[in-house]
């Protein structure tokens, strides 16, 4: 098997696993938990008392931005990996590996 074929199989397998994960009830639960972290961090930032030191403000703002970024990037990355696997499945159409028909 060539390195390109191995990579194609890895893409297909990863995409199929992620597709099953995203399609499960657990995915919605995970996204809810992550979004709650984002909301909590933003709430903390919004509710800082007046006159708080600049460094504390920057730290809380960085924390809130980090959670927002993690939340958004996780969704984007998972979706792009699934799309790559679906595209690879269309290109390769493996005949002897029915487990890749999870899309």
pLDDT tens digits for 40-98? 999 999 998 888 889 988 999 999 999 999 999 999 999 999 998 888 877 666 555 55
Residue 42: inside a domain, yes or no? yes
Residue 99: inside a domain, yes or no? no
- DSSP for 17-35, please give it: HHHHHHHSHHHHHHHHHHH
Domain count, the chain: 1
Ramachandran region, residue 37 (left: φ > 0; alpha: ψ -120 to 50; beta: rest): alpha
Residue 46: inside a domain, yes or no? yes
Residue 103: inside a domain, yes or no? no
Domain holding 72, by residue range, is: 3-93
- The model's pTM is 0.70
């Amino acid at each position: 098997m060539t390195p390109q074929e191995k990579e194609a199989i890895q893409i297909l397998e990863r995409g199929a696993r992620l597709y099953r994960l995203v399609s499960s009830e657990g995915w919605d639960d995970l996204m809810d938990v992550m979004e709650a972290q984002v909301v909590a961090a933003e709430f903390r930032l919004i509710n800082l008392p007046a006159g708080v030191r600049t460094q504390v403000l920057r730290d809380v703002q960085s924390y809130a931005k980090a959670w927002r970024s993690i939340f958004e990037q996780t969704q984007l990355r998972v979706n792009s990996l699934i799309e790559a696997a679906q595209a690879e499945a269309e290109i390769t159409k493996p005949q002897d590996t029915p487990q890749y028909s999870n899309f």
